[in-house]
Amino acid sequence: MRRGWVEYSRSTDEPPSVAVAKALAQFEGCSPTSMETPLYEFIDPDALDALFATRPDETSRDPGEVRFATETATVVIRLEMVRVFERVSC
C-alpha cells in the first residue's frame, strides 16, 4: 500500500542506509526484509553511510542531501531524516 510520501526521522546512531531501507519499506507498506528490490540495486549503502559519517579526524561534515530514484519513488536523505515521494514520470 503505497502513499504519496513518507518522512522518516533518523536517530543519530542509525546508519543512513538502514533509515532509507525503513523509509522505503514504510512507503511500500512492507517490512525492510521483504522488499522486492534490495537497496543496493539503487544506491551503494556503504557509500551512503560514508557520506554522512564524521570525518576521520572526528569533525562533522557540512550538512547536505543525497537524492536517488527507484522504480516507484524519489528518495531524499538528509542528516536527520529521509523523505520518500511517489515518483512522477513525464
Are 75 and 67 within 8 A, CB to CB? yes
Domain map (residue ranges) of the chain: 5-86
Q: What does the pLDDT read at residue 77?
A: 97
- pLDDT 10s digits, 8-31: 999 888 999 999 999 999 999 998
Q: What does the pLDDT read at residue 3?
A: 63
pTM metric for this prediction:
0.87
Helix, strand and coil in the chain, % to nearest 5: 30, 25, 45
pLDDT in tens, the chain (90 residues): 456 899 999 988 899 999 999 999 999 999 888 888 889 999 999 999 999 888 888 887 788 899 999 988 999 999 899 999 998 766
Which residue, chain included where needed, has cell 543525497? 66
**Rounded to the nearest 5°, which phi and psi values hold at 28?**
-85, -10
